[in-house]
Amino acid sequence: MSLPPSEVPQGAIRFNTDSQRLEFYAQGEWWVMSTDTPNLASAGDPTPGPRGLFGGGQLTGPNAISDVIDYVNISSAGNAIDFGNLTVARRWVTGAVASRTRGVWAGGFTPSINDTIDFVTIASTGNATDFGNQLDSKATYGGCSNETRGVFGGGNPEASSSKTDGIDYITIASTGNSLDFGNLAAATASLCATAGQVRGLFFGGYTPTVLRTIQFVTIATTGNAQNFGDLARTNGQEGQACANATRGICSGGTGPSPCTDIEYVNIASTGNGNKFGDLITAGTSTMGAVSSPTRGLISTDDTNQDDIEMIEIATEGNAVDFGDLSAARDIGSGCSNAHGGL
């Protein structure tokens, strides 16, 4: 019989039969053992456990664009804390990506479409640093990543009056401009994305028809997206996505009205979305979602535009309150150092 989480000793090691990898236990989470995994169990090690960051967005009030980055410790419910600032204040920066070390935001709207890519070191706090520029500057895209690559798909580009089907990518550990990866099935904006270690998934969007489509790419290669299945709901525009290593979550969205639905898929297979539960508050055009191997945190559009809700990814059910953002805002995005692609 396995021990409940409260009784697992710090530094415990197990073999995960699903991922076929060794893991160790630290700060309330199981971490994959590898040469680049932080030694979280070491006494006095300043490296944090699972940390979620939220960056950019639209503050309340006309033309109030935010450069705020704030963070939460995913293992412990509570309000977000100031982390630093993006290099450029922007909204509609909707697809942040991350490795275990870095968080990266790309594109957005400043109030014109922007091609900036900037990054932070997740374990510390401080302002973002310039990374490079997008191949085609865009906003309202979906972003996903594994430890090596960040992938950005769709969006509203500067080079077009409408939407793009373009997918571009970066190597997270380096700096430089994004490169061509392939194409989505159709020119799509207002979609969301998440990933396992092998696949990146793109959910829904707007073409201008609201989509229920789920598409996937193999992150380590380049090429066009392939069909995965469909969301069960019709509200596929402007949702939020997060994942652990096996299960992808898509929540909220609109089209024609905001919804509270949460769905899940098994990343390694293909198929349609399955009902998971419901958000407390409908979530659309929010600050996105972040995750650890066990939890998903989802920002939602409560009255104050600052709410963060929580789910346990392995167990279907409704979201519960986690805390609040440090600055009320929406249409930004979040990333974490413990998501399903790592």
pLDDT value at 49 more than 60: yes
| Better-scored residue on pLDDT, 112 or 168 | 168
From CA 99, how far away is CA 189, in angstroms rounded? 24
pLDDT at 224 over 80: yes
**Predicted model pTM:** 0.86
* Average pLDDT, integer, range 311-336: 95
pLDDT of 51 reads 97
Q: Per mean pLDDT, which range of 25-29, 129-133, 137-141, 210-214 is the poorest?
A: 25-29
pLDDT, one tens digit per residue, over 163-207 is 899 999 999 999 999 999 999 999 999 999 999 999 999 999 999
Please state, in angstroms and rounded to a whole number, the distance separating the CA atoms of residues 318 and 300.
14
Q: Is the pLDDT of residue 35 over 50?
A: no
> What are 229-268's pLDDT values in tens digits?
999 988 899 999 999 999 999 999 988 888 999 999 999 9
Given a cut of 50, whether residue 1 has pLDDT beyond it is: no
